[in-house]
Amino acid sequence: MHKDGKLEKARQLVKGIHELPTIPEIATKVLDLFDKPDVELEELAETILVDQVMASRVIKIVNSPFFKPLHEIKSLKRALIYLGFRQIRHIALTCSIIDAFEGKNGVFDIKTFWEHSFGVGVVAKIIAQRIRYPEIEKSYIVGIVHDIGEVFLSYYLKDGFQKVVDEIKGTSGNFVDTELKLLGTTHCEIGFCLARNWNFPAEYCDVIANHHSPSSASHDPALAAIVNLADLFCSVRHLDYGGREWVSFNLAEEPAWEILKSFSPAFADLDVERFCYELDERVPEIEDLVNSLFEGMIKR
């Protein structure tokens, strides 16, 4: 199907949902703060304190096993200092998105979704560091949010999405092709519409739309390629949604690999094997991180 057709279909589907999930203002603010490198800790603390639920979650998360402070941290400001400015932004953003979809039953396990999302975020960040991509932080965040279209499908188009999941189960089929076949659009276009709706910056929307076709990205194909490759590396580390019988890829045949080699010629000499073993090392850490987030999310 033509690209515009897929997008139009996604627009209709998203438009057809009367109560679209809303993302707290804080998440949009957190994203906005990216372009302000001189933002102060005070400013961030004030932003978060406006949202009491968020503030208590941050404190709970900082005291979780993943971050393991020596003594219990009781104040938001100390939590912010301990976690660091960057970490707190990721937590705030993630909590907002988890919140946006809370209280509904989705087709797939939301925790698996976040393991995949954080997995892609972490690996995207590692790749960005390797190729000296100037905005490492951005790679991490866009890695985390790249699949929001899947969450939307899982929660709001349950029947259709259940069919997609059933069709893939036990085969080596992938989500993009199956969604296109059964729904007439994919999680990429859906995610794009949702991200636009939430006023995400344009370059984020572009990556969300093109993370399976990095060459088509109009803003920054390198960023889309980083996320695409991170997605592939996660898919063979059980950091995916499961269900598929088999998944594999030949690095030399991936357009993202070519894009990144032309972005950074030294990347062609990457020790792929060592890179893979080092990624294997990080998997438990990603699982711990997601567990911590979920522990912090449980309502008292």
Partner 1 sequence: MKLSDADFEILRDFIYNTCGMFFTIQKKYFVESRVAKRMEKLSIRQHGEYIRSLRNGVAGSAELKQLLNDLTTNETFFFRNPPQLKALENQLLPEVATPKEKIGFRKLRIWSAGSSSGEEVYTLAMVLLERRESLLNRWTFEIVGTDINDEVLAKAREGVFNSYSVRHVPDLYMRKYFRKESSERYVISPEVKKLVNFQHLNLYDDNKMIFMKTFDFIFCANVLIYFDTASKSKVVQHFYNNLQPYGYFFVGQSESLHGVSDKFKTVHFPGGFAYKK
Cα-based angle 112, 117, 122 (whole degrees, multiple of 5): 125
- Please state, in angstroms and rounded to a whole number, the distance separating the CA atoms of residues 148 and 13: 15
Q: Segment near partner 1 (CB under 8 A), from 27-35, 78-86, 210-218, 230-238?
A: 230-238
Closer to partner 1 at the Cβ: 209 or 229?
229
- Counting contacts by CB under 8 A, is residue 35 touching partner 1? no
Minimum Å gap between C-beta 129 and partner 1 is 18
- Counting contacts by CB under 8 A, is residue 276 touching partner 1? yes
Size of the site for partner 1 (CB under 8 A): 25
Closer to partner 1 at the Cβ: 92 or 123?
123
Closer to partner 1 at the Cβ: 91 or 229?
229
> Per the structure block, which two tokens stand in for 241?
């949604």
**Residues within window 163-182 making contact with partner 1, judged by CB under 8 A:** 172
Minimum Å gap between C-beta 235 and partner 1 is 8
- Counting contacts by CB under 8 A, is residue 273 touching partner 1? yes
- Please state, in angstroms and rounded to a whole number, the distance separating the CA atoms of residues 16 and 20: 9
Q: Which one of 236, 262, 265, 266 is in contact with partner 1 (CB under 8 A)?
A: 236
Q: Segment near partner 1 (CB under 8 A), from 1-9, 14-22, 199-207, 231-239?
A: 231-239
Residue at 276: amino acid letter = C
Cβ-Cβ contacts under 8 Å for 109 (sequence gap 6 or more): none
- Counting contacts by CB under 8 A, is residue 42 touching partner 1? no
Helix (H, G, I), strand (E, B) or coil at 169: strand
Q: Which one of 19, 38, 72, 281 is in contact with partner 1 (CB under 8 A)?
A: 281
Per-residue mark of binding to partner 1, 244-263 (x: CB under 8 A): -xxxxxxxxx----------
- For helices 110-130 and 85-100, give the axis angle rounded to 10 degrees: 150
Q: Segment near partner 1 (CB under 8 A), from 64-72, 101-109, 209-217, 237-245?
A: 237-245
Instruction: Find out whether 190 and 10 touch, Cβ atoms under 8 Å.
Output: yes
Q: Segment near partner 1 (CB under 8 A), from 34-42, 121-129, 206-214, 280-288?
A: 280-288
Minimum Å gap between C-beta 174 and partner 1 is 14
- Counting contacts by CB under 8 A, is residue 4 touching partner 1? no
SS3 per-residue string spanning 52-73? HHHHHHHHHHHCCCCCCCCCCC
Sort 160 into a burial class: Cβ within 10 Å, 0-12 / 13-18 / 19+. middle
132: alpha, beta or left? (left if phi > 0; alpha if psi -120 to 50): left
Q: CB-side exposure of 170: number of CA atoms within 13 Å? A: 2
- Please state, in angstroms and rounded to a whole number, the distance separating the CA atoms of residues 64 and 289: 9
DSSP state of 242: -
Residues that bind partner 1 (CB under 8 A): 172, 232-233, 236-238, 245-253, 271-274, 276-278, 280-281, 284
